[in-house]
Structure 1
Amino acid sequence: MSPQPIAEGQGLAPRTRWFDLEDSLTGAIRRVFLWLPEGPAPQAGWPALWMLDGNAVIGTAIDAMRAQAFWPTGTGLGWGALVAVGYPTDAPYNSFRRSWDLGPPPGRSYPPFHEGGPEVRTGGGAEMARFLMEDVQPFLDRIAPLDPDNRAIFGHSFGGLFALWLMFTQPSAFRHVIAASPAITWEESFLLEHLAGFTPPRQAPRVHLSAGEWEGNALAPFQRSAPEADARLAEKARTRTVEAAQEMARALRAKGIEAHYETYAGETHMSVLPIAINRALHWAFALPVEETADA
């Protein structure tokens, strides 16, 4: 039985609704945003793009969709539903909760984000995955005409790590996987163990990986004379965001998966977000060439 929202509302843009859902096992409350196109859904239901860090991404995704999908011959973008999972807050992020939710197991403990705050824990990814598949999905099936065979998932940074881990552990959950600036080397690159043991299913997901130009070995121009420049360079050498994403794309292709990598010129770890969201829309909702030609 799908959960009932404990609160709901409208906002952000026309045709946008949000629902606060209680995790059926843990009681944790997360906010689910839903945006649907106007008009009747396709016979199979709308294709859907699911997005992590929902509070931070839903507004950008809606604006990009509304500005492009009405003109398919100029953009190649078709209509689809947007699902974003975040938290009951007006802030773009809840850093404490996302550390747990988007950090795949086994996870670790870290010092508080601020003095006197709670210990930060990672490793709750299995809990989050169960919430998405067993709570959110049945709820959406009840209220929206969505195509169960045409779902995409998008995540940035920790969200990208989670999206890749979910693909390795539940490869049939999403047809398309978009991981922007994924934290592949997090916690001693444990994700690579999942990669090594991964056997793609017959209907393997399509994968898009990306990172910003200034996530490589060089600092962005505005960062080069900053006092923390040396510390940033050392962190880059540890995280290897660009190289790790490139290596992941090559490894997935070697396993027979359609996997692409893209570097976003002139962008940092955070400034890539609007570009990556737009790319996720096109990865999830791109129209076949014959449809754009006939439109």
Structure 2
Amino acid sequence: MTRLDNDIPYISQVENSLEAFSLPNTQQFLLPSKARQQPYRIFVYTPAQEAPPQGFPVLYLLDANALFGTIVEAVRVQARRPEKTGVYPAIIVGIGYPTDEPFDDSRYYDFTMPTSDEVLKALPVRNKDHVWPKVGGAQDFRDFIEQELKPRIERDYPVDWNRQGIFGHSLGGLFVLQTLLTMPDSFQFYVAGSPSIHWNKELVRRQEAQFAALQQQARKRINLLITLGELEDAHPSGMNGNAREFFERFSLLTSEELRVEYQEFEGEGHVSVLPALVSRMLRFVLGG
């Protein structure tokens, strides 16, 4: 056995050498926002393949602290054989927070519309003494994405402007739907996982009524995928029923310029559904 100068077996030193692990082809940086004191933590994955002339499709991901690694690994593996998987190489941009925890309370502010105390009191909670974090900053967050984050990404990475998607889950799914309803030209692909429509159903319905006029102004085709876990149907919020009703109403608007799909995953709950929906979401957004 080869030995080093200090007479410690070489193999033992290799076994005891610990290094931090990072995903290949990924970067992260802090990006300040005009509307909040703390910066956002931005995660970016770029494919190893050479970018096509028009650039790579780009998927913007909410709750990136929790989901960035899962989605990046799925893209890395499946995009190696797109002719088999239906998933083509893409840039993944995760929007997260400067914490090592999977979720941060800032998401309540970023993903929700202004909400009255009366509505907040009516929301289902486990503890009757629950105090909600600050809410109501969705428009500030949308402005950050459009005016601060997208220009930075488009400056530094080869992005195809005509193939941009956004994915959010739970309150993030609500944010995705509201972005579609109020600013439909922001993205071409919208994926709302287990959207928390119950947060303010009346506002969502009013925004739906205004959507047809906004859609006519959109410059590109819009694609919407709504997903849920089958077991979420038992949640007191009525999450699955709300999402099905939204899908059924929205399906009446389908045309050459609007594609709407819906899927429930058998045997999955609100959290366990996340890995299950990733492949379905990637085929929807990154298919050829």
Q: TM-score range by the shorter chain?
A: 0.7 to 0.9
Show the counterpart of 2:278: 277
> Is the 2:58–2:159 Cα contact (8 Å) retained in structure 1?
yes
Aligned equivalent of 2:175, options 162, 183, 186: 162
Question: 2:141 aligned with 1:143, yes or no?
Answer: no
Q: What is the deviation of 1:108?
A: 4.9
User: What is the distance in 1 between the residues matched to 2:60 and 2:287?
Assistant: 15
> Is the 1:53–1:155 Cα contact (8 Å) retained in structure 2?
yes
Residues paired across the two proteins, number: 257
Aligned partner of residue 211 in structure 2, secondary structure: coil
Question: 2:230 aligned with 1:213, yes or no?
Answer: yes
> Is the 2:49–2:89 Cα contact (8 Å) retained in structure 1?
no
> Is the 1:160–1:180 Cα contact (8 Å) retained in structure 2?
yes
The residue type equivalent to 1:84 in the other structure is G
Q: What is the deviation of 1:26?
A: 3.3
Q: Which runs of 5+ in 2 are unaligned?
A: 1-19
Question: 2:235 aligned with 1:261, yes or no?
Answer: no
Show the counterpart of 1:52: 62
Q: Closer, same or farther in 2 for the Cα pair 1:148/1:22, shift >3 Å?
A: same
Further displaced range: 84-93 or 10-19: 10-19
The residue type equivalent to 1:210 in the other structure is T
The residue type equivalent to 2:102 in the other structure is P
- 1:177-216 equivalence runs, <5 A: 177-199=190-212, 200-201=215-216, 203-216=220-233
The residue type equivalent to 2:150 in the other structure is Q
The residue type equivalent to 1:275 in the other structure is A
In the TM superposition, what whole-angstrom CA distance separates every residue of 1:204-229 from its partner, at most 9, and x where no partner exists?
Answer: 41100011010114xxxxxxxxxxxx
Aligned partner of residue 89 in structure 1, secondary structure: coil
User: What is the distance in 2 between the residues matched to 1:254 and 1:40?
Assistant: 40
> Is the 2:57–2:90 Cα contact (8 Å) retained in structure 1?
yes
TM-score of the superposed pair, with normalisation by structure 1: 0.81
Aligned equivalent of 2:106, options 97, 104, 119: 97
Q: What is the deviation of 1:74?
A: 2.2
Percent of counterpart pairs with the same letter?
A: 30
Question: 2:165 aligned with 1:174, yes or no?
Answer: no
In the TM superposition, what whole-angstrom CA distance separates every residue of 1:18-53 from its partner, at most 9, and x where no partner exists?
Answer: 111110343331111100001321111110111100
> Is the 1:165–1:191 Cα contact (8 Å) retained in structure 2?
yes
User: What is the distance in 2 between the residues matched to 1:178 and 1:167?
Assistant: 10
User: What is the distance in 2 between the residues matched to 1:50 and 1:195?
Assistant: 23
Q: What is the deviation of 1:97?
A: 0.5
Q: What is the deviation of 1:104?
A: 2.2
Aligned equivalent of 1:38, options 28, 40, 48: 48
Greater C-alpha radius of gyration:
2
User: What is the distance in 2 between the residues matched to 1:23 and 1:40?
Assistant: 31
> Is the 1:249–1:261 Cα contact (8 Å) retained in structure 2?
yes
RMSD: 2.4
TM-score of the superposed pair, with normalisation by structure 2: 0.83
User: What is the distance in 2 between the residues matched to 1:167 and 1:32?
Assistant: 22
> Is the 1:80–1:285 Cα contact (8 Å) retained in structure 2?
yes
> Is the 1:57–1:277 Cα contact (8 Å) retained in structure 2?
no
Q: What is the deviation of 1:11?
A: 6.4
Q: What is the deviation of 1:190?
A: 2.4
Show the counterpart of 1:152: 165
The residue type equivalent to 1:206 in the other structure is N
Further displaced range: 254-263 or 56-65: 254-263
Question: 2:255 aligned with 1:245, yes or no?
Answer: no
The residue type equivalent to 1:99 in the other structure is Y
